[in-house]
Amino acid sequence: MNHTGANKFVHSIKVPKLFKEATKIVKKVAVDGASFKSLTANPRHPNVQGIYALVSETLRHSKELQYILDYSKILIENPRFDPWLARVLITELLWGKKVLKSEAIPIVTVLSYKEKLLKALEQISDAVADPSDKKKVDLPRYVRINTLLMSIDEAFEAFYNDGWNLLPKCEDYKSHLETLSNMGPEDYIQDFHIPEVFAFPPGTKFHDHPGYLKGKFLLQDKASCFPAFLLNPKPNSCILDMCSAPGMKTTHLAAIINNTGKIYAVELHEGRHKTLSEFVSHTGAECVDVIQADALTITPEQYPNVEYILVDPSCSGSGMARIEFMNQDRRDLFIRLKKLRNLQAMILTHALCDFPNVKKVVYSTCSLYPEENEEVVDEVFRKVSDKFKLVNLEKKLNGQWNNFGAQHSRYSCSDGKSLYALPEKDLCNGFFLAVFKRKSSAEVEENLIENDEIETCLDNQQEDTSKDSEKKRKNKTRSNHQDYSEIKTDDNVDESVIHNTEEDVTEGVPKKKKKRKIADQDNIENKIDTNFDESAIDNTEKDVTNESPKKKKKKSSKKITDNTTNMNENLSELKQDNIVEHDEVTVKDKKKKKKKKNDEKSENH
């Protein structure tokens, strides 16, 4: 088939703006790695949710689209056809409304290939559409009831009048997921966790529903509803939403407190700030003050009564769509994630450290990368663990969830202290969430006591070690004294006598006591050779230095010098005493020596 008319592309009729805006976003995400969330929050089109849905579907079906484009040869035969616009239009035809109503040339071109496109869709192999992609295609359509404009009972009645069949609520989360997977085309069910959220069969359209057009029904994925649900602010409370646009979570918070308190919704960029303001007004969230500012510049002096903070910063958006055709270099991805992580950590730190009255802070991302999730929480929690604790979400939800805790146990938010929403398991968009809660005064005091006990325990361990060392030293000294008194030397002097004596001096035994012990040595019935080996004492001096206990080695240099001086004096005295003793001792018996001494005394007198 030759589409000559299509090749001319005379744009007498323009492509609807919805498709043009969706095309720009898809291209930026796929080629530039831009943030899916931030781009869909700031389109140049009033139908924000319609663009979000179309972009999300296009990204999810990336593998199938590539196969269909190759099979149908639509781009080869129409080389001027924008490949990204082609993807968006084919998505709308095959998985969206399944209708394209326009006389614009690109739409006419796609419709002329409809048979080939459908045939290609039928022949897509399992290698192209893997199980995880199929599950993502079959995600339910989630609708949050805006309870500011409609009660849940009124919603039940409206859906009943529309011909929908309400399925009974399940007893556990596992049964709920099974029900979601097996819903009929006319069935719907109230969410297991969040009462104001309802799930409809995949592909259900609400863009033309009167409830949607009036702001009563909001097309918000279940995972995106969890942050406000778990923050759970009390009525009349003061809340800060630090990264608000497009406003889904902000308006959910307003509904939870029923417009009774105050919400400060912060957005920096002008375009997104405008979108946020319009959406807040559309949903009747009268308690919301929209602020155009950098979240990092918001101070407690400006908003002193903030009790709850929601931190849902810009992220990669990896949980909201499988961007299979985004052939981004791993190094570029790493650099981008690092930049995102730094910003995310700064905002979360600001929320926890700079607002003294805040009670609870929720951190969430629509990302599945640990760099943006566990690593951010872990880094910040180390700074605030003395004041905040991580809420055990597994306990909070009574275990009714599939993926509690971090992906790796080494993080502080493991063991149920965070949660992941995984599309394949939870039938909703990918998401990560952790909750910080300020410790009570009793918990802070208990934490201080625990820290004191740890320090005391360490001090006691050191003291016990010191006591054991002192005890061993005393036992060794006592043993040395005992051995010393039992020594009976031969003609040669036993060096251990002098060595032990020097060790006692080093350990601080009083000098007078030592002199008595040396005097007692005179009474030992020994035979000491006159050829006294002075090297024994010299060697002993070296041994004293080498064998002194470790504790004494840790003394200051001054003390060591003083002890060495005292030791040398004692050794000098000891050496002199021994030399005198050797000079005086002869081979004669003691009586002759005594007589000689008496004679010398007489001569002196």
294 annotated ligand binder: yes
Dihedral over Cα of 77, 78, 79, 85: its sign: negative
Dihedral over Cα of 291, 17, 223, 333: its sign: negative
Amino acid (one-letter) located at 54:
L
- Contacts (Cβ under 8 Å, ≥6 apart) of 342: none
Closest CA to 224 of 312, 314, 139: 312
70 annotated ligand binder: no
Closest CA to 30 of 82, 92, 106: 82
DSSP 191-252: -SS-TTEEEE-TT---TT-HHHHTTSEE---HHHHHHHHHH-PPTT-EEEESS-TT-HHHHH
Catalytic annotation, residues: 366
In 232-319, which residue ranges form alpha helices assigned H by DSSP? 248-256, 270-282
DSSP 460-526: HHHHHHHHHHHHHHHHHHHHHHHHHHH----SSPPHHHHHHHHHHHHTT--HHHHHHHHHHHHTS--
Q: What is the DSSP letter of 377?
A: H
312 annotated ligand binder: yes
- What is the torsion angle, in degrees rounded to the nearest 10, for the CA atoms of residue 138, residue 139, residue 145 and residue 151? 60
Q: What is the largest CA-CA distance in the chain?
A: 149
Report how far apart the first and last C-alpha atoms of the chain are (Å, whole number). 148
Assign residue 163 a region: left if phi > 0, alpha if psi is -120 to 50, beta otherwise? Answer: left
Question: Cα(552)–Cα(507) distance, rounded to whole angstroms?
Answer: 8
Closest CA to 504 of 486, 520, 525, 518: 518
Q: Which residues are annotated as a binding site for S-adenosyl-L-methionine?
A: 267, 294, 312
Q: Which residues are annotated as a binding site?
A: 267, 294, 312
